[in-house]
Structure 1
Amino acid sequence: MLRLIYTLLWLLILPVALLRLVWRSRKEPGYVQNIGERLGRYDDIPREGPWLWVHAVSVGETRAAQPLIDSLLAAYPGHRLLLTHMTPTGRQTGAQLYGGNPRIQQCYLPYDMPWLVRRFLAYFRPEAGLIMETEVWPNLVHVTRRAGVPLFLVNARLSPRSYRRTARFGSAAASLYNDFTMVLAQTAGDAERYRALGVRAVQVTGNLKFDMQAPEAGMARGQALRRAFGGRQVLAAASTREGEEPLILEAFSRWPGAQRPLLLLVPRHPQRFDEVAGMATRSGFSVQRRSALDLDGPEAEVSADILLGDSMGEMAMYYAASDIAYIGGSLIPLGGQNLIEACAIGTPVLMGLHTFNFAQATEDAIAAGACLRVANADELMRAAAEVLADRSRLAEMRANALTFAGLHRGATVRTLGALAPVLR
């Protein structure tokens, strides 16, 4: 009954959802491209399989899936891989990672109505589906199970906050998650919360993000960018979210140290690049943009107070060029973004109080000496100033970050092991 009500609501809001795509395309044109795919129309896409299907909703999930996708392609050479998304930035990230690979096909997942999901499954006939992290759509899960397609929730996480919300649905929540062949959880805490919901098939496999390898090209570009800074120290504010930049800019204007570093400001969403650039300029800072910087030129130089990271697919470069990085979404109650990529490159991190999306990883990084917790933007600047002023402490935190990232690798192997009985 709940699923029927949910489907009827989808019917009512479908025109609004389509209009929202048009509205969002004002800042991000990709939202009005390939709309037919969101309605289950894939006639322009080759359907020859056999297919393994991985769903990665947006940028973070697409990057996290990379080690798993690489391993699946190696382990199952007779299969092709269908990579689905919900956002243009996720699709663009997938294209940057896999563009030109003839065994990988990208498209959007259809909206969550039963007949659209059935059309998607009938067209591609995937042998198995892997849903990354938290993207649980009731009709998608139910229809896929009814179609006999094994479906796994991979790299799954369920914060205490999300658990409390989900538990309100009682047996309906348990029924939804039990339609998965298996839930492969990041941590023992995540697994415990899934079991408390009544989920039967749960296994702890670890966090795939620890298996992400820093691309050599990105590291080399990071050194080139570093040279353009002319020896200045660099504080990165990475994957910042709406509402955070004013706090960061105001606190940065009151930098507590003797010499203010360069601020490398990287908003999470590309449609906000112009907005954040204007915000920084109005705050009295000189601003340069990565998009206007030719790192291949002989005289690349960043002399401004702030370099705006207005590019996609270059986070490895930004982290490699930074001395220390604040990870966005954690000064305000949004749950924080991924700190693992920075640690894997050896960049110490600062996190706010709101890290429920990466709770275990954050606590482990703090315990390892790779991360410092700050309560607000002023404390963020004080902590950054103290670490940057102490060369030995900075070097120690760098080493701790690399050690922390290395100790937690292995989720890809464990995930493949859990999938093997079904995918054989």
Structure 2
Amino acid sequence: MQLATPLLHRKLKRRAQSEPGYAQAVPERFGFYEGAAPVRTPDAPPLVWIHAVSLGETRAAAILLKELRELLPGMRLLLTNGTATGRAEGSKLVREGDVQVWQPWDSPQAVRRFLTHFRPDVGVLMETEIWPNLVAGCKAHHIPLVLANARMNEKSWRGARRWSWLARPAYQALSAVWAQTDVDAERLSDVGAPVRGVLGNLKFDSVPDAGLLARGRAWRSGAGRPVVLFASSREGEEAAWLASWIAQRDASRARDCEVQWLLVPRHPQRFDEVIALCTAAGLSVSRRSQWQEHPQPADIWLGDSMGEMAQYYGMAHAALLGGSFEPLGGQNLIEALSCDCPVVMGPHTFNFAEAADLAADAGVALRVADMQEGVEEAVRLVNDPERQADLASRCHAFTAAHRGAALSTALAVVQQLRSAAMPHHEA
């Protein structure tokens, strides 16, 4: 394990060249922390550790955390992240008395240092993050460790079965698992996880920021033409989108093909790359970071800010779902629907399989075979005001009907604290 340490340092250094956040607090990755350990007294409130690896998991953790703070007044949060975007988003959740550090590298030494330094009362892993040494360390230290909002796609399930000698003991050592769907529960149970319930998807409980949503709607009204958002686009998808859009534009000069495109790449380090792609095709680009009171006229608007997705969905009459036009599993379509923004999604939605199927059945998400069909469908939808308004109104009812996972999950976490029989806590 020690031999790999220099390699990890070099990897972090390379990542930091495009994302400076990776250069922050590097010793934490190896279980070394500045400052004293949290004070533990018999009457201290519980220290709840939540691990959210990246941006999406951190946003789901925020929904759960809101309910936990209601149920556990005075609780302290220990938040760990694995990516720079996750850590940046997670910093918004930290209050006085809370702690945010990097997830320790999954070596016995780093895990031991992490657990003995912080000694959390309960650990909550978000969605998919299972690390063998981390799970084993919690069991050895008698720290209940649960997997919340748990999901397992078919690829991960087959991988866990193939490597069952490693995966099964890790899943079996968890204290509890709460799955998003029945299919997730079946797969997780099959690899040894102690599934205690199917509680739904936390992301349905997300409430978009009203101020951002209102500003987006105001900007949309001033656009002068329908707005289509390509949300959380991934590498390779923008080039396919660009080729499809230019081909459609050149084939039809009809007014009902006119739209304002808004691109929001999934990863901030790719903003300049996407701009270069568009300008090389002869398109003008206006960046969100350069706007004052209103968007500046351009062929393409580029959303190059963090934490403003509600604003971008508010600007859009419809959205293409990033990550679904390449075999990447798709991004979170629930966020768009909660902003009353209908979705056009490609064939690859395995990360949100049930939500995507439910949304398609409800008519608030339209499934297409490829990017060309996706661009055509999106343009057709936003140029049909009556149909677009109907889908937008159905989005609100759809998301409202699937809420409730946050409170159920928070109550289950509190029960884990009680079951741990630590007499100095009163849940």
Q: TM-score, normalised by structure 1?
A: 0.93
Match of 2:267 in 1: 269
1:201 deviates by 3.7
Does residue 90 in structure 1 map to residue 86 in structure 2?
yes
1:339-367: CA deviations, max 9, x gaps? 00000110000111011111110000000
Distance 1:184 1:325 in 2: 30
TM-score (norm 2): 0.92
Matched, 1:325 2:316: no
- Indicate the residue corresponding to 1:230 in structure 2: 223
- The CA deviation at 1:421 is 2.1
In the superposition, relative to structure 1, how do residues 32 and 352 fare at CA in structure 2: closer, same or farther (>3 Å)? same
Quick one: distance in 1 between partners of 2:359 and 2:18? 36
Aligned with 1:26: secondary structure? Answer: helix
Comparing 41-50 with 313-322, which one deviates more in the overlay? 41-50
Deviation per CA, 1:366-389: give whole Å up to 9, x if none.
001100011111101110122112
The counterpart of 1:213, out of the listed 207, 213, 233, is 207
Q: Is the 8 A contact 2:160 2:168 kept in 1?
A: no
Counterpart in the other structure of 1:294: 292
Q: Kindly provide the amino acid, as one letter, of the partner of residue 7 in structure 2.
A: V
Q: Give the Cα separation in 1 of the matches to 2:230 and 2:5.
A: 37
Contact 1:325 1:350 in 2 (8 A): yes
Q: Find out whether 1:38 has 2:29 as its counterpart.
A: yes
Distance 1:388 1:200 in 2: 46
Q: Report the more deviating stretch, 13-22 or 184-193.
A: 13-22
Q: Distance in 2 between matches of 1:287 and 1:45?
A: 49
For residues 412 and 8 of structure 2, the distance between their equivalents in structure 1, rounded to whole angstroms, comes to: 36
SS of 2:258's equivalent in the other structure is coil
Is the contact between residue 84 and residue 106 of structure 1 (CA under 8 Å) also seen in structure 2?
A: yes
Does the 8 Å CA contact 2:257/2:383 hold for their aligned counterparts?
no
Say if 1:223 and 1:320, in contact at 8 Å, map to a contact too. yes
Gaps of 5+ in 1: 1-7
2:257 partner SS: coil
For the residues of structure 2 that align with 1:36 and 1:365, how far apart are their CA atoms? 43
Deviation at 1:263, TM superposition (A): 0.8
Write out per-residue CA displacement over residues 272-330 of structure 1, whole angstroms, 9 at most, x where no aligned residue. Answer: 111111111111111000010113xxxx2431010111111111110011000011011
Read off the aligned partner of 2:10 and give its amino acid letter. Answer: L
Deviations 1:78-117 (A, max 9, x none): 320111101111111112x335x21432111111111111
Distance in 2 (alpha carbons) for counterparts of 1:65 and 1:200: 21
| Residue 181 (structure 2) pairs with residue 187 (structure 1) | yes
Q: Which of 17, 33, 53 pairs up with 1:26? A: 17
- Structure 1 residues 314-353: aligned runs within 5 Å: 314-353=308-347
Partner Cα distance (2:192, 2:126) in 1:
20
Q: Secondary structure at the match of 2:193?
A: coil
Partner residue in 2 for 1:64: 60
Q: CA deviation at 1:260?
A: 2.0
**2:100 equivalent in structure 1:** 106
SS at match of 2:229: strand
Query: Once the two structures are superposed, what CA deviation does each residue of 1:143-192 show, in whole Å capped at 9, x if it has no partner?
Result: 11111000000101011121111111235422210111011100011001
CA contact (8 A) 1:195 1:202 kept: no
Structure 1 residues 197, 301: CA separation in 2 closer, same or farther (over 3 Å shift)?
Answer: closer
Match of 1:3 in 2: none
Note if contact 2:225-2:258 (Cα within 8 Å) is conserved in structure 1.
no
* Separation of aligned partners in 2, 1:162 and 1:414: 26
Q: 1:53 to 1:284 in 2, by over 3 A?
A: same
Greater than 6 Å deviation, 4+ residue runs: none
**Counterpart residue type for residue 283 of structure 2:** F
CA distance in 2, matches of 1:200, 1:233: 48
Q: 1:217 to 1:106 in 2, by over 3 A?
A: farther
Corresponding residue for residue 4 of structure 1 = none
Q: Structure 2 residue aligned with 1:383, among 377, 380, 389? A: 377
User: Per the alignment, do residues 178 and 302 of structure 1 end up closer, same or farther by CA in structure 2, a change over 3 Å counting?
Assistant: same
Task: Give the aligned partner of residue 47 of structure 1.
Answer: 38
Gaps of 5+ in 2: 41-45, 419-427
The root-mean-square deviation of aligned C-alpha atoms, in Å, is 1.6
1:241 maps to amino acid: R
Greater RCO (Cα-Cα under 8 Å, separation 6 or more): 2
Number of the residue aligned with 2:148 = 154
Equivalent-residue separation in structure 2 for 1:169 and 1:380 (angstroms): 37
Query: Retained in 2: the 8 A contact 1:230–1:302?
Result: no
Letter aligned with residue 242 of structure 1: E
**Equivalent-residue separation in structure 2 for 1:224 and 1:128 (angstroms):** 44
Could you tell me whether the CA contact under 8 Å between 1:210 and 1:409 is conserved in 2? yes
Q: 1:369–1:183: structure 2 CA closer, same or farther, 3 Å change rule?
A: same
Question: Percent identity between the aligned chains?
Answer: 45
Q: Indicate the residue corresponding to 1:5 in structure 2.
A: none
* Distance across 2 between alignment mates of 1:350 and 1:186: 23
**Paired letter, 2:124:** L
Post-superposition offset of 1:396 = 1.2
- Note if contact 2:347-2:368 (Cα within 8 Å) is conserved in structure 1: yes
SS at match of 1:247: helix
